[in-house]
Amino acid sequence: MRAVQFFEYGDASMLKIVDVDTPAPTAGQVLVRVSATSVNPVDIAVRRGEMRMLSGHRFPQGLGIDIAGVVAEVGANVTAFVPGDRVWGVKAGLFTRASGAAAEFMVIDARLLSSIPANIDLIDSAALPAVGVTAVTAVGDKARVVATSRVLIRGAAGGVGSAAVQYAHSLGAHVTALASERNMRFVLDLGADVALNRATTPVVDLGDFDAIIDTVGSELLQLRRHLSPNGRMVTIAVGSLGSIAAVAFSAIYGPRRIRAFFGQPPRGVLAQLTEIVQAEGIMPVIEEIYPLERIADAHRAAEAGGGRGKRVIRIGV
């Protein structure tokens, strides 16, 4: 099968399409014929070597955590799926030695999969697993947004941000979205009640909010000051020392703690996302769909920023 690997850390030119053996599922696994995956920030960080303390120095390494495709084979103990089922999921762990979801086939624990909602296209569905479960966790579980909540979403046009805007809107919250001038009309169409230009709106001029969802990772302590007395703030961007320090500081000083999470979504959230998508509470937002042969271009575009939603990599049909 064809799979994307890199043999040293570096820019997007390091990504190579190679032939590797098709994996076989163990008793609790499913072999998925991958239709599409998408580019996530963690893919870029791993490829650059920014996480080499965790990913190590053994090569080759694969990429891709979002998976959308069709079941090709199931392990002996798998009863939830049969060949031909449309499934999506998020790969366990951030690092792989052979291939990730950017490959023609992938084996994955059956417990990490759910059926793709019938109301979305198979290729388009690859835009949602990681950002969808992140948005549902951030908005619903961590920020505890309800119909009466006033919510600020920072980075509202991106992958997680666009899903968070939709989900908070579906819950009945009043949503204020911070985005670029180009994307202000776009976030309003997603469901935001107010759109603010991130370039011309200083943090100090923001009002108070019951929930703040941050996808940027800067000025966290300043944003924290705009929480209502019982407000909750969540950031998914904790890659810098400054953001880590801000989260730690907020846990020690004052009542307005900044919550952060990273890694494998809690079990059950993917099934919850499936139900939300079936009710059209969140729908895929896609900047562009690339063939597998242009995965390096997709990485470069994602690194440049400013896109709407996700960049999807088409692998099969």
118-177 residue pLDDT tens: 999 999 999 999 999 999 999 999 999 999 999 999 999 999 999 999 999 999 999 999
pLDDT in tens, 122-133: 999 999 999 999
pLDDT at 241: 62
pLDDT in tens, 205-237: 899 999 999 999 888 888 999 999 989 999 988
Largest Cα separation within the chain, whole Å, is 59
CA pair distance 301, 63, nearest whole angstrom: 16
Task: Place 238 in a pLDDT band, splitting at 50, 70 and 90.
Answer: low
Give the separation between CA 162 and CA 180, rounded to whole angstroms. Answer: 13
> Poorest-confidence range of 98-102, 162-166, 230-234, 277-281?
98-102
Residues 114/86, Cβ–Cβ less than 8 Å: no
The burial class, CB within 10 Å (0-12 / 13-18 / 19+), for 297 is middle
Alpha carbon distance 37, 127 (integer Å): 7
Is residue 260 a contact partner of residue 282, using CB atoms and an 8 Å limit?
A: no
At what angle are helices 269-278 and 129-136 packed, to 10 degrees?
A: 100
State the pLDDT at residue 53: 79
Pairing mode, if any, of strands 113-115 and 150-154? unpaired
β-bridge partners, 234: 213, 259
pLDDT digits 0-9 by tens, 24-67? 999 999 999 999 999 999 999 999 998 887 777 889 999 999 99
Are the C-beta atoms of residues 292 and 102 closer than 8 Å to each other? Answer: yes
151 has which bridge partners? 175, 211
Give the pLDDT confidence score for residue 264 in this predicted structure: 66
Can you tell me the distance from the alpha carbon of 169 to that of 174, in angstroms, rounded to the nearest whole number? 7
Whether the pTM exceeds 0.95: the reply is no
Residue 185: Cβ-neighbour burial (10 angstroms; 0-12, 13-18, 19+): exposed
The fraction of the chain above a pLDDT of 70, given in percent, is 91
Which residues are within 8 A (CB) of 174 and not within 5 positions of it... i.e. 6 or more apart?
Answer: 149, 150, 151, 193, 194
Rounded Cα gap, residues 245 and 240, in angstroms: 9
The pLDDT value recorded for residue 120 is 97
The listed range with the strongest mean pLDDT (113-117, 214-218, 248-252) is 113-117
Q: What tokens appear for 19 in the block?
A: 């032939």
| Range of lowest pLDDT (26-40, 226-240, 248-262, 289-303) | 248-262
What region does 82 belong to: left with phi over 0, alpha with psi -120 to 50, or beta?
beta
Give me the pLDDT at residue 262, please: 67
Average pLDDT over every residue of 104-128:
96
pLDDT band at 254 (very low <50, low <70, confident <90, very high): low
132 Cβ neighbours under 8 A, 6+ residues apart? 163, 273, 276, 277, 282
Choose the CATH number for 2-128+284-314 among 3.30.565.10, 3.90.180.10, 3.30.70.370, 3.40.50.300: 3.90.180.10
Looking at residue 217, what is its pLDDT? 84
- The per-residue pLDDT for 306 is 84
Q: What is the pLDDT of residue 239?
A: 60
User: CA 269, CA 69: separation in Å to the nearest integer?
Assistant: 19
pLDDT at 204: 86
The predicted structure's pLDDT at residue 94: 60
Q: What number does CATH give the domain 131-260?
A: 3.40.50.720
Nearest to 257 by CA among 232, 235, 225: 232
Query: Residue 302 is encoded by which pair of tokens?
Result: 């994602």
Over residues 82-91, the pLDDT tens digits come to 999 999 999 9
Mean pLDDT across the chain: 92
Tell me the average pLDDT across 64-77: 97
Answer yes or no: is pLDDT of 261 > 80: no
The domain segmentation of the chain, as residue ranges, is: 2-128+284-314, 131-260
At residue 249, the pLDDT reads 59
